[in-house]
DNA sequence: CTTTGTGAAGTAATTCACAGCC
DNA sequence: GGCTGTGAATTACTTCACAAAG
């Protein structure tokens, strides 16, 4: 497979989110123009993104919605449910545990991990919380493939190392530091303060 | 001012986050090479980013750390504290309210807004929660310039409209939908399910 | 010597524009 | 007529490479 831009993969998610409800409510076909206008992007962008993975459209008509939904689900690997663990059961971690956005889109939060003995051994928002010492075994038993880091910045690196040694290859990092990981592990960073700062810059320059 | 790439502005935040602690612990100077290696990026990138805003370095020596910290703070508009409101006092909203990452970087969460009368009129994690009807007046009185949207997808657009009519020009949107706003308003989207999906794609293609 | 600042070169992503098909 | 698929053109971003300065 060719090198697909990261931006393309993220847009596929957006397409899916638009198309899935349309498919359920019975919309048959959609043109790149219509889909693009729903996302305020360029129609050629939509066509090019899809063309990386094959040719799904009908000239003169557009794309079959339900076919396209199935195809994107397959491309993104969200046909089956993905199990996720969250490390850090503080404010952010437990909010994420309870966040329904994840399950709606096919991700199941299986467990929280923390070091605080006031939290471990209990359920938080319905999700069991374990000690971080149990992480590696749990990941192995439950065949977990994805982890979310929601610990304070100063612990992020050591947690990342534990996660990597558990053989997880995909990490969503909320800690406001860049973490060092082997090249075969993918990290997506969600950096809240950074987003606010970039807004702040915008405000300064209106 | 020329067109500064969005990526440059976001990197400035990263530079700031590295430099600020260095400045406090007394590091005098830093070269673009050193700074770049701390972020695993190219030294020329650092120099080019900074050069958009002026010439701050000393040839042969590098950059004065505390000067640079002050300069970046000024560029990003984080010299003064920025007041922020959060709309939506559910799991995510209240977690964000309690998230210390914001205040550490100079943002103060002044209020939460919700429609649920079980929440309004109370304090949540120490932050007062008001009814959304009071939003416009509050923003005016308190001179709020930034808002965070943490409501479910189906309400995001109408909340965005309220925020826009309150004359706020910068929005951080956590709802998993693209919201339509006038071109003079800046929206940064933080899309958690999207980040997970892009990880999922990565896992499929190892 | 070292390191900056920056035009020029090189990459990557997006958009155009049109041939080909319905 | 309408719309896709895609090479070509454009735009945006990154990296190189070197003159100028300490």
Q: At A10, which CATH number?
A: 1.10.10.10
Q: Is the pLDDT of residue A1 over 60?
A: no
Residue A83's pLDDT is: 92
Cβ–Cβ contact B159 with A under 8 A: no
Sign of the dihedral defined by the CA atoms of residues A5, A10, A13, A17, in that order: negative
Statement to judge: residues B11 and B65 lie in one domain: yes
- A7 or B98: which leads in pLDDT: A7
DSSP string, B92-152: HHHHHHH-HHHHHTTEEEEEEEES-TTTTTSEETTEEEEEGGGHHHHHHHHT--EEEE-S-
Statement to judge: residues B149 and B93 lie in one domain: yes
CB proximity under 8 Å: B 93-112 to A: 94-96, 98-99, 101-102, 104-105, 107
Residue matched to tokens 């003995």: A117
> Taking the mean position of all CA atoms in its chain, how far away is CA A30?
25
Residue B2's pLDDT is: 63
pLDDT in tens, A58-101: 999 999 999 999 999 999 988 777 899 999 999 889 888 888 77
Statement to judge: residues B155 and B62 lie in one domain: no
- What positions of strand C are covered by protein, i.e. any atom < 7 Å from a CB? 1-7, 12-17, 20-22
Residue A2's pLDDT is: 61
10-residue block means of pLDDT along chain B (206 residues)? Answer: 85 95 95 96 97 96 97 88 92 86 83 96 94 97 95 95 96 92 91 89 84
- Total domain count, chain B: 2
State the pTM of this model.
0.86
> Taking the mean position of all CA atoms in its chain, how far away is CA B171?
9
| CATH at residue A132 | 3.40.50.720
Residue A151's pLDDT is: 95
Statement to judge: residues B88 and B70 lie in one domain: no
- Of A109-113, A141-145, B181-185, least confident by mean pLDDT is B181-185
Q: Which of B59, B75, B91 is the last residue of a domain?
A: B75
CB proximity under 8 Å: B 132-151 to A: 145-146
Nearest 5°: CA angle at A147, between B125 and A97? 35
Residue A28's pLDDT is: 95
């Amino acid at each position: 497979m060719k090198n697909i831009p990261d931006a393309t993969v993220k847009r596929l998610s957006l397409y899916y989110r638009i198309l899935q409800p349309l498919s359920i409510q019975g919309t048959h076909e959609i043109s790149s123009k219509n889909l693009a206008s729903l996302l305020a992007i360029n129609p050629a962008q939509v066509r090019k993104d899809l063309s990386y993975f094959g040719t799904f459209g009908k000239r003169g008509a557009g794309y079959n919605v339900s076919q396209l939904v199935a195809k994107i689900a397959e491309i993104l690997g969200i046909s089956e449910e993905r199990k996720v663990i969250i490390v850090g059961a503080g404010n952010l971690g437990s909010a994420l545990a309870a966040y329904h956005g994840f399950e709606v889109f096919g991700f199941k939060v299986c467990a929280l991990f923390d070091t605080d003995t006031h939290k471990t051994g209990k359920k938080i928002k319905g999700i069991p919380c374990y000690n971080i010492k149990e992480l590696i075994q749990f990941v192995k038993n439950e065949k977990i493939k994805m982890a979310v880091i929601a610990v304070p910045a100063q612990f992020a690196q050591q947690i990342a190392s534990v996660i990597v040694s558990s053989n997880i290859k995909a990490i969503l990092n909320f800690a406001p530091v860049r973490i060092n990981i082997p090249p075969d592990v993918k990290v997506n960073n969600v950096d809240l303060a950074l987003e606010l700062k970039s807004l702040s810059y915008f405000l300064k320059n209106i």
